């Protein structure tokens, strides 16, 4: 049966080649869109790691803050050469934090940078235990855990006991712990870069705790390797920090923002202040991240609809031109079901040929290690979804022409012009 179908397809190879090409192109489009959507959905399902309800983001622009959308990147060893300058602002920073906490609507506040949803990204990448390691990070003061509702799953959150301890206390996400240490216990280990030939060992960055997750840009952010490092007021790092996160009582609105900004401006007239509600920023981010996917899905949907219409048209056409062939088959005793099976079977065989080619092309991604951050499960999930969807599509396209092929009586079909 199958061999016979192949023969039929081969006999009409020009038009079959066109149909196969079309299904092949359709396969690629469907695969891209389905995998992308599946990836976004899978990302959305993962834990976010922090709570942003009722959290305000306060941005401060002053001389040393670099809140201008730049990117800074540095290698791991840089930390040794970074000057540990005195922080000339520490008294002002402490006073501002006190001022903010004194507001009745504010429950807790912490200095931190970059903040969630800030679109500013600080990444580190260096060699760790002879392997490249890469993660995003933020610096924050001790109160950050309570402001953002972080969940520490192992070890402890950093605190005053890390003051002047001679190492930099950091808390990392579970994903980063698995990336850097595998199954070993990360607590108490150093996550600093490897010492390079002829250079002083880098400052120790010691993992004191592991948190559930921290996806800075929200539910659709795919970066889950994250590190929070502890800010100390006297440090040179603290000198450049230009933002705070404020946990407010439910119901705090624009009037609270206005009151806070007014009192901050009165205390520091030479600095600029801006408050945003993280909930709004989160909503905006969700839209920014999902809009391209939605757009691609709509376009792909129409493309698939177009292909479906086109395929059934082509098939319909081929059935009408082959009415006499079908008449012969019926006259020789083939039942209506047999003929239907033949029409749909031909289409399914062509779909299979096209998809085999498609799968071979698409499989180059995992083979050449081009998947990037997309997990293999999502890739193969997308692939199987595409195959199922295309077979479904082929079936639907074949149904009407197949029925058409059998409505004509054999004796008429034989004389059909």
Partner 1 sequence: MLGNYLKLSLKILGRRKFFTFVSLFGIGFTLLVLTLSAAVLDHIFGAYPPETRADRTLSVYAVRMEGDDSQSTGPGGFKLYDQYLRDIPGVERMSVLTTPQHVVSYWNGTRIQSALKRTDADFFRILDFRFLEGEPFGDADVNDGRFVAVINESTRRKFFGKAQAVGKSFEADGQTFKVVGVVPDVPIFRLMASGDIYVPVTTAKSDEYRQRIRSGFMAMFLVKDRSLIESVQQEFKARLARVEVPPNFKRILAVPESVFGTFSRVILGDFESEDTASRLLSILLTMAVLFMVLPAVNLVNLNVSRALERASEIGVRRAFGASARDLLLQFLFENVIISVVGGVLALIMAALALFALNRADLVPYAHFAINFRIAAWGFAFALTFGVLSGLWPAWRLSRLKPIQALGGSR
Strand pairing class (226-230; 131-140): parallel
Determine which residue in the list 13, 41, 81, 91 makes contact with partner 1, applying CB under 8 A. 81
Is 257 one of the binding residues for partner 1 (CB under 8 A)? yes
| Phi then psi dihedrals of residue 127, to 5 deg | -95, 125
Q: List all residues 6 or more positions away from 400 whose beta carbon is below 8 Å from its beta carbon.
A: 312, 316
Q: Are 34 and 389 contacting, i.e. CB atoms less than 8 angstroms apart?
A: yes
At its nearest, how many Å lie between partner 1 and the CB of residue 359? 18
Determine which residue in the list 159, 321, 335, 411 makes contact with partner 1, applying CB under 8 A. 321
Determine which residue in the list 3, 7, 10, 68 makes contact with partner 1, applying CB under 8 A. 68
**Angstrom distance (rounded) from CA 258 to CA 304:** 51
**Angstrom distance (rounded) from CA 59 to CA 65:** 10
Is 292 one of the binding residues for partner 1 (CB under 8 A)? no
Is 275 one of the binding residues for partner 1 (CB under 8 A)? yes
Number of chain residues interacting with partner 1 (CB under 8 A)? 54
At its nearest, how many Å lie between partner 1 and the CB of residue 386? 14
Is 124 one of the binding residues for partner 1 (CB under 8 A)? no
At its nearest, how many Å lie between partner 1 and the CB of residue 150? 27
Determine which residue in the list 2, 4, 13, 21 makes contact with partner 1, applying CB under 8 A. 21
**Angstrom distance (rounded) from CA 112 to CA 237:** 11
Burial class (CB in 10 A: 0-12, 13-18, 19+), 74: middle
Q: Whose Cβ is closer to partner 1: residue 76's or residue 155's?
A: 76
Q: Whose Cβ is closer to partner 1: residue 165's or residue 299's?
A: 299
**Angstrom distance (rounded) from CA 316 to CA 26:** 20
Q: Whose Cβ is closer to partner 1: residue 11's or residue 45's?
A: 11
* Residue with tokens 């407010």, as numbered in its chain: 248
Structure tokens at 7: 């023969």
Is 290 one of the binding residues for partner 1 (CB under 8 A)? no
Q: List all residues 6 or more positions away from 157 whose beta carbon is below 8 Å from its beta carbon.
A: 142, 145, 150, 171, 208, 209
Is 369 one of the binding residues for partner 1 (CB under 8 A)? no
Q: Whose Cβ is closer to partner 1: residue 71's or residue 364's?
A: 71
Binding site for partner 1 (CB under 8 A): 14-15, 18-19, 21-22, 25-26, 29, 61-63, 66, 68-75, 77-78, 81, 254-255, 257-258, 261-262, 265, 269-275, 299, 302-303, 305-307, 309-310, 313-314, 316-318, 320-321, 417
């Amino acid at each position: 049966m199958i061999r016979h179908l192949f023969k039929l397809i081969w006999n009409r190879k020009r038009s079959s080649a066109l149909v196969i090409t079309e299904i092949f192109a359709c396969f690629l489009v469907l695969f891209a869109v389905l995998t992308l959507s599946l990836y976004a959905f899978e990302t959305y399902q993962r834990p976010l790691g922090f709570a942003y309800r009722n959290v305000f983001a306060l941005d401060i622009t002053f001389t040393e803050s670099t809140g201008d959308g730049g990117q800074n990147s540095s290698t791991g060893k840089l930390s040794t050469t970074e000057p540990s300058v005195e922080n000339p602002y520490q008294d002002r920073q402490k006073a501002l934090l006190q001022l903010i906490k004194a507001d009745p609507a504010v429950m807790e506040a912490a200095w931190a940078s970059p903040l969630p949803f800030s679109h500013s990204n600080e990444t580190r990448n260096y060699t760790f235990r002879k392997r490249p390691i890469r993660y995003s990070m933020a610096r924050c003061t001790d109160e950050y855990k309570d402001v953002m509702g972080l969940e520490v799953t192992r070890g402890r959150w950093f605190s005053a006991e890390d003051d002047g301890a001679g190492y930099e206390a950091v808390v990392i996400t579970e994903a980063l712990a698995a990336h850097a240490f595998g199954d070993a216990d990360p607590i108490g280990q150093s996550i600093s870069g490897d010492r390079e030939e002829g250079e002083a060992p880098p400052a120790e960055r010691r993992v004191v705790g592991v948190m559930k997750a921290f996806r800075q840009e929200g539910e659709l952010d795919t970066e889950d390797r994250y590190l929070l490092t502890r800010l100390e007021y006297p440090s040179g790092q603290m000198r450049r920090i230009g933002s705070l996160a404020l946990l407010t009582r439910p119901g705090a609105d624009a009037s609270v923002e206005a009151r806070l900004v007014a009192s901050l401006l009165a205390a520091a007239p030479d600095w600029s202040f801006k408050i945003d509600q993280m909930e709004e920023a989160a909503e905006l981010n969700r839209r920014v991240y999902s809009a391209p996917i939605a757009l691609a899905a709509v376009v792909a949907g129409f493309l698939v609809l177009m292909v479906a219409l086109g395929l059934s048209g082509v098939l319909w056409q081929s059935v009408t031109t082959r009415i006499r062939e079908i008449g012969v088959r019926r006259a020789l005793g083939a039942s209506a079901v047999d003929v239907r099976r033949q029409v749909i079977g031909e289409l399914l065989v062509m779909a299979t040929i096209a998809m085999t080619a498609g799968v071979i092309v698409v499989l180059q991604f995992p083979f050449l290690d081009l998947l990037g951050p997309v997990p293999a499960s999502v890739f193969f999930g997308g692939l199987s979804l595409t195959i199922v969807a295309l077979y479904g599509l082929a079936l639907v396209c074949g149904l009407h022409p197949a029925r058409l092929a059998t409505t004509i009586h054999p004796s008429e079909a034989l004389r059909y012009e």
